Amino acid sequence: MRAGEFVKQVGGYEAFVPKPLPPKPPIQMDPDLASLLSEADRALGRLDGVTSILPNPDFFVAMYVRHEAVLSSQIEGTQSTLQDVLEFEIDSKGEDRPKDVEEVVNYVGAMNYGLQRVKEFPLSLRLIREIHGKLLQGVRGSNREPGEFRQRQNWLGTDKCPIEQATFVPPPVDEMRTALNDLEKFLHYEEPMPVLVHCGLCHAQFETIHPFLDGNGRVGRLLITFLLCQKGILHRPLLYLSHYLKRHRAQYYDRLMAIRTEGDWEGWIKFFLRGVAEVSHAATATAREILKLREKGRAKSLASPGGANYGQRLVDFLFERPIVNVRMVEQGLECSFAKANSLVKSFVALGLLEEMTGWQRNRRYRFKPYLALFETP
């Protein structure tokens, strides 16, 4: 078969052993695939361009990393929201947090660690293990060999189903090691191939190998972003497919399975490219809305105490910290507590901030118009 073969094992089940990439015969660039590739490339280019005109693009990136962490973790069953993550960053000991918020925070940490590392070193199996270790440190799955490739067979299926009833069995350990070594070589493939096609192939192959006992989906999705940044296609890490994959979860799994059973790499690549284009368009639109929101916010802030100075500075601070308390504003703007308290009250009256606790003391406020841009329908 084109992508690999199902091999009967001693236990009677069949495990899939993938062939090395690139596929043979090569990806067939039919008119539909060529059109999708062109559209995805253009959309990605527009996204990379529009973020360069944002006043503080790194703050936008930080919010997108958090947003992706929430969505990618939700695919794996977590319940935490973006607001939960932002509140955790203010107070990690809060009693009302969902227990799984630390899984999302770990994802943010793993993402940022990996993005820094790929600036310095080529993407490798070692880095993939390091990312996995950070992802599962101290959270659900921490007993499943964080940072280490599996030493035993795993399988996919309904919860606690026996291997004989699995929907898919990845390669046995020895074949897994060979497949990983082949994948590492392909990560640095230098023959002519569109970068997005290369990224799509790498993600699918990683998910087929399924080298960890837990966390394969999250690491595989991170891999896409790391590759695009390392290859210079994105200057900032702004392409995250989790929202698209979550909405089309059944089709996502079907397309991956069609690679294994039918060798249909082209069907997978088309699905992947549609996701790149859709997500890039959405992120570009969000970036433009942020520009509009900043201008509206700065205009409104002129009505606050010291608006031309402190008010406009607070607007920009809220793009960095969209959930605040008065003490954070005092420290962020380097002003008196009384001035910070007065500014916060005026921003509430202007509709820029919303009190979110209902408490008389230790109140917190959210920059609701900004957070609304990242809410997932």
- Block mean pLDDT (10 aa), the chain, length 377: 95 96 97 98 92 79 85 82 86 68 88 92 95 88 83 91 94 98 96 96 98 94 92 85 92 97 98 97 91 90 79 91 94 93 93 89 90 80
- Both 211 and 314 in one domain: the answer is no
What's the structural domain count of the chain?
A: 2
Does some domain include residue 96?
Answer: yes
By residue count, the chain amounts to 377
Q: Please work out, in degrees rounded to the nearest 5, the angle formed at the alpha carbon of residue 205 by the alpha carbons of 199 and 211.
A: 120
The kind and range of the H/E element at 238 are: none
- Both 158 and 49 in one domain: the answer is yes
Residue 154 confidence (pLDDT)? 95
Single residue among 285, 318, 351 that ends a domain in this structure = 285
- Report the distance separating Cα 367 and Cα 343, nearest Å: 13
For residue 37, what are the CA distances in angstroms to 186, 274, 351, 360? 20, 8, 43, 55
Residue 54 confidence (pLDDT)? 79
- Both 277 and 314 in one domain: the answer is no
Q: How many CB atoms lie within 10 A of CB 183?
A: 22
The pTM of this model reads 0.91
How many Cα atoms are found within 13 Å in the side-chain-facing hemisphere of 324?
Answer: 29
CATH number at residue 133: 1.10.3290.10
Single residue among 255, 285, 315 that ends a domain in this structure = 285
- Both 240 and 368 in one domain: the answer is no
- Both 309 and 196 in one domain: the answer is no
- Both 227 and 350 in one domain: the answer is no
Does some domain include residue 48?
Answer: yes
- Both 134 and 221 in one domain: the answer is yes
- Both 275 and 318 in one domain: the answer is no
Residue 95 confidence (pLDDT)? 61
The domain containing residue 48 runs over which residues? 4-285
CATH number at residue 309: 1.10.10.10
Does some domain include residue 295?
Answer: no
- Report the distance separating Cα 101 and Cα 70, nearest Å: 9
Q: Is 196 exposed, middle or buried (0-12, 13-18, 19+ CB in 10 A)?
A: buried
Does some domain include residue 111?
Answer: yes
Cβ atoms of 347 and 304 within 8 Å: the answer is yes
Does some domain include residue 229?
Answer: yes
- The helices-and-strands tally (H runs, E runs) of the chain is 15, 5
Cβ atoms of 48 and 286 within 8 Å: the answer is no
Does some domain include residue 69?
Answer: yes
Q: How many CB atoms lie within 10 A of CB 329?
A: 25
Token representation of residue 227: 């590759």
Residue 235 confidence (pLDDT)? 83
- Both 227 and 361 in one domain: the answer is no
Residue 224 confidence (pLDDT)? 94
- Both 276 and 312 in one domain: the answer is no
- Both 99 and 57 in one domain: the answer is yes
Q: In sequence order, what are the residues at sequence separation of 6 or more whose Cβ sits closer than 8 angstroms to the Cβ of residue 334?
A: none
Single residue among 256, 285, 314 that ends a domain in this structure = 285
- Report the distance separating Cα 64 and Cα 70, nearest Å: 10
Does some domain include residue 297?
Answer: no
DSSP codes joined into one string, 255-288: HHHHHHHH--HHHHHHHHHHHHHHHHHHHHHHHH
Residue 142 confidence (pLDDT)? 66
- Both 39 and 79 in one domain: the answer is yes
Q: In sequence order, what are the residues at sequence separation of 6 or more whose Cβ sits closer than 8 angstroms to the Cβ of residue 302?
A: 308, 311, 312
The kind and range of the H/E element at 355 are: strand 354-355
Which residue in the block uniquely carries the two structure tokens 């490798």? Answer: 124
Residue whose C-alpha is closest to residue 33's, from 197, 260, 262, 252: 197
Does some domain include residue 368?
Answer: yes
DSSP state for residue 138 in the 8-state scheme: T
